[in-house]
Chain A
Amino acid sequence: MLPEAIEAMTAQMATVGNASSLHTSGRGARRVAEESRESVAQALGARPSEVIFTSGGTESDNLAIKGTFWARRDADPRRVRILASVVEHHAVLDCVDFLETHDGAKVTWLEVDHVGRVHPETVRAAIEADPGSVALVSVMWANNEVGTVQPVAEIAALAHEFGIPVHSDAVQAAGQVDVDFTRSGLDLLSVSGHKVGGPQGVGALLARRDATLVPLTHGGGQERQVRSGTLDVPALRGFALAMSHVAAGLEAEVGRLVALRDKLIRGAQEAGFGFQVTGDWEPGDGIRRLPGNAHLLVPGCDGDSLLYLLDAAGIECSTGSACQAGVPQPSHVLLAMGVPEQQARGALRVTLGHTSTGADVDAFLAALPAAVERAQRAQGATRTEQTR
């Protein structure tokens, strides 16, 4: 977390006041909340009135999808179809699954190509199959595992030809690439505080003024009547500060991260284990792939063995896939990209951020060969055992 954000939050926590109250301290809190709203809006190219504060990316995704689905279906009962990409984060996938299982939604999953990208033609074909039945489209701004940036502006433009609203989960993209809500043409966009150096447990849904949402929580009518509940003003302040900070330094940071990422990927390739880079990688590019995302397939070993060995060497990575009771499952993103299951189990995701340095990348590359050799031996060991 950004030190300035910690400091601002801590100071705010010592200040009493409910932003919904009318007395002096309430007004003080309200002022901080609104300044935070303005900062977040400015950092993301939105208007303050378009910012709905939430508890984070997951709530933003749920509010966007369920809220829009219900509102659009209320207006026209034929609108029950949701179009969502197969590489979405679970906050979107499971939300859509929920509506399908419990609320009569029909789902058209949008396929991706081998780099994990949704093609606008895929979206158009899915809409044209029956335009009047579509409630909304949801395609993430950039994939959290392999870093592929999606053509969300194009998708928004074409969906609007049919009057269909488009949501994008930009949790992973905000702070890494230029996320401009107005320019994107999107109707709804989710962001999260902790991904931009702010606190956990806070985020926002950006919603155009004409976007109608059925609320998920009911009560005091805060946040445009769609997200009742007392605002967590210290968290908003920390979030807003971090958001402004990353937006201001974005251009320089993108260049720096792209250089680090390219160095890391090249170094891994040169280590000679047959590493495969997933997604859309071109050295120097910080637009088609998230600058801080390096995602590799390591042949012949389990991602979790590699994770342990690298962690023991002081390097924290992830496999980038979901767990079921702590058991790593092959990533749905890689499987959707056509990566065979066995290969998908050897995934290694390295995320570079504002604290990452060239020395970190050097340390990673130094620790990598021994870790891979050992992880490959470990897989070999369990293989032989199987035939014993």
Chain B
Amino acid sequence: MRVVAAMSGGVDSAVAAARMLEAGHEVVGVHLALSQSPATLRESARGCCTIEDAGDARRVADMLGIPFYVWDMAARFRNDVVEDFIAEYSAGRTPNPCLRCNEKIKFAALLDKALALGFDAVATGHYAQIVEGASGARELHRAVDMGKDQSYVLGVLDEDQLARSFFPLGDTAKPQIREEAKALGFYVAAKPDSHDICFIPDGDTRRWLTDRLGEQPGDIVDSDGAKVGEHAGAYAFTVGQRRGLHLGEPAGGGEPRYVVEVQVATNTVVVGSAELLGIDAITGDHARWCGPAPEGVVSVGAQVRAHGEEIPATARADGERVEVRLGRRLRGVAPGQSVVLYDGTRVVGSATIATATSEAQSARASSQA
């Protein structure tokens, strides 16, 4: 097959490209230029898409003897991922930009361009597995290395996209990948893992948002509505957050307080005790299915953050919407996060969390009304 290997400049995508070549495919390396200022240098181990990363990717491609191109998708990335990220936070939600990037850029814009240029598929260094099911359809499964498993951020891919994707690292543990890179002579073998959000190189999401949205001072209130502090912009807070609240007085009983709700309309941050964070009912929209959509109520495992635990749950799909009942309560689930549903190691699909509530609370609320 003719395959585009998406090469970020990191060790994973380097080995992924090498493995595709080793498997006998015709491979062309492509580095996506996603930053508006590609000439900047890496500030730390975080972030990516700098001129150094492009250079690292090119060096690996040269060593493999494959053609290498840089495709400029900075404008698309800005519109579909960065602007979306800002809009979601402005709406009081907590998005995961990696899912958005996979959905809109890597397995859409990149894949579409590759197909149009005559390629058959795209390969990336994601830790996940594609398994051919009984019917011959390709299924998305968790990686063997659960510590590195990235199936969560791929839960937005549909059958069509999976049919044209390769994740050659899913059956291997990360330390072995580094060994393999070393054996191949790649000097990126020891390059640190990238983490956090690539377009916020210093990792300070709140300051990054404040730079773009400006300070919008407002009140921090407790669950009874009493003012307990002030903030510089409700958008910068996430449900479940404890740090950075700067509340003067401790709560009665001295127990720690967390953000339990972000009300954008009134620019108010609501704080409360940890127990108010517990939720067990999720409604999601923007559902994406990695295979046929489930029918009726199905038993699944639900995961609400990239490296969070999987909770037994039931799910019911209704078009673009999904209702998920968790088998036990989870803390700190914010609207905007994605809930990814699993059947064993298989990814069933995902949805963006619209509401996350507690059954008990809902029952209490309705009985009071």
Which A residues contact B (CB, under 8 angstroms)?
304-305, 308-309, 311-312, 323-328, 374-375, 377-382, 384-386, 388
Going nearest first, the 3 A-B pairs with the smallest beta carbon separation are A326-B70, A325-B38, A378-B116
Distance A317 CA – B70 CA, assembled complex (angstroms): 16
Q: How far is the CB of A301 from chain B (nearest CB, A)?
A: 10
Is B109 interfacial (CB 8 A cutoff)?
yes
Which chain A positions have C-beta within 8 A of B142?
A: none
A326 in contact with B54 (CB, 8 Å): yes
Is B145 interfacial (CB 8 A cutoff)?
no
29 A–B contacts, CB within 8 A, in A order: A305-B117, A308-B28, A308-B117, A309-B117, A312-B67, A324-B39, A325-B33, A325-B38, A325-B51, A326-B31, A326-B58, A326-B70, A327-B33, A327-B72, A327-B74, A328-B72, A374-B117, A374-B118, A375-B117, A378-B116, A378-B117, A380-B116, A381-B116, A382-B109, A382-B112, A382-B113, A384-B112, A385-B112, A386-B79
Distance A382 CA – B54 CA, assembled complex (angstroms): 22
Is B108 interfacial (CB 8 A cutoff)?
yes
Distance A379 CA – B112 CA, assembled complex (angstroms): 10
Which chain A positions have C-beta within 8 A of B116?
A: 374, 377-382
Which chain B positions have C-beta within 8 A of A305?
A: 113, 117
Q: How far is the CB of A322 from chain B (nearest CB, A)?
A: 12
Which chain A positions have C-beta within 8 A of B117?
A: 305, 308-309, 374-375, 378
Distance A382 CA – B58 CA, assembled complex (angstroms): 24
Which chain B positions have C-beta within 8 A of A377?
A: 116
| Contacting residues of chain B (76-92) with chain A, CB-CB under 8 angstroms | 76, 79
Which residue of chain B has the shortest Cβ distance to A383 in the bound complex? B112
Is B187 interfacial (CB 8 A cutoff)?
no
Which chain B positions have C-beta within 8 A of A381?
A: 112-113, 115-116
**Contacts A326-B33, A326-B70 supplied; 19 other A-B pairs, CB < 8 Å:** A304-B69, A305-B113, A308-B117, A309-B117, A325-B54, A326-B38, A326-B58, A327-B70, A327-B72, A374-B118, A375-B117, A378-B117, A379-B116, A381-B112, A381-B115, A382-B76, A382-B109, A385-B108, A386-B79
Q: How far is the CB of A77 from chain B (nearest CB, A)?
A: 35
Which residue of chain B has the shortest Cβ distance to A304 in the bound complex? B69
Which residue of chain A has the shortest Cβ distance to B76 in the bound complex? A386
Which chain B positions have C-beta within 8 A of A325?
A: 33, 38-39, 50-51, 54, 70
Q: How far is the CB of B168 from chain A (nearest CB, A)?
A: 22
With a 10 A CB-CB cut-off, give which of A308, A325, A374 has the most chain B CB atoms. A325
| Contacting residues of chain B (44-70) with chain A, CB-CB under 8 angstroms | 50-51, 54, 58, 67, 69-70
Which residue of chain A has the shortest Cβ distance to B109 in the bound complex? A385
Distance A383 CA – B112 CA, assembled complex (angstroms): 10
Which chain B positions have C-beta within 8 A of A327?
A: 33, 38, 70, 72, 74
Interface string of B104-120 (1 = CB under 8 A from A): 00001100110111100
Count class of interface residues, chain B? 20 to 34
Q: How far is the CB of B135 from chain A (nearest CB, A)?
A: 28
Which chain A positions have C-beta within 8 A of B113?
A: 305, 378, 381-382
With a 10 A CB-CB cut-off, give which of B76, B109, B113 has the most chain A CB atoms. B113
A324 in contact with B38 (CB, 8 Å): yes
Q: How far is the CB of B297 from chain A (nearest CB, A)?
A: 31
Distance A234 CA – B121 CA, assembled complex (angstroms): 49
Which chain A positions have C-beta within 8 A of B58?
A: 326
Distance A328 CA – B70 CA, assembled complex (angstroms): 8
Which residue of chain A has the shortest Cβ distance to B68 in the bound complex? A326
Which chain A positions have C-beta within 8 A of B72?
A: 327-328
With a 10 A CB-CB cut-off, give which of A309, A328, A382 has the most chain B CB atoms. A382
Interface string of B27-40 (1 = CB under 8 A from A): 01001010000110
Distance A304 CA – B72 CA, assembled complex (angstroms): 10
Q: How far is the CB of B62 from chain A (nearest CB, A)?
A: 13
Which residue of chain A has the shortest Cβ distance to B117 in the bound complex? A378
Contact of A304 among B71, B109, B115 (CB under 8 A): B71
Which chain A positions have C-beta within 8 A of B51?
A: 325
Q: How far is the CB of A328 from chain B (nearest CB, A)?
A: 7
Which residue of chain A has the shortest Cβ distance to B115 in the bound complex? A381
With a 10 A CB-CB cut-off, give which of B54, B67, B71 has the most chain A CB atoms. B71
Which residue of chain A has the shortest Cβ distance to B105 in the bound complex? A385
Distance A327 CA – B51 CA, assembled complex (angstroms): 10
Distance A172 CA – B134 CA, assembled complex (angstroms): 62
Contact of A308 among B50, B67, B76, B112 (CB under 8 A): B67
Which chain A positions have C-beta within 8 A of B38?
A: 324-327
Which residue of chain B has the shortest Cβ distance to A378 in the bound complex? B116
Which chain A positions have C-beta within 8 A of B118?
A: 309, 374
Distance A384 CA – B28 CA, assembled complex (angstroms): 24
Which chain A positions have C-beta within 8 A of B54?
A: 325-326
Distance A29 CA – B58 CA, assembled complex (angstroms): 39
Q: How far is the CB of A194 from chain B (nearest CB, A)?
A: 20
Which chain B positions have C-beta within 8 A of A379?
A: 116
Known: A326-B58, A374-B116, A375-B117. A308 touches B69 (CB 8 A): yes
Distance A327 CA – B67 CA, assembled complex (angstroms): 15
Which chain A positions have C-beta within 8 A of B108?
A: 385, 388
Which chain A positions have C-beta within 8 A of B112?
A: 381-382, 384-385
Which chain B positions have C-beta within 8 A of A385?
A: 76, 108-109, 112
Distance A377 CA – B33 CA, assembled complex (angstroms): 21
With a 10 A CB-CB cut-off, give which of A326, A379, A388 has the most chain B CB atoms. A326
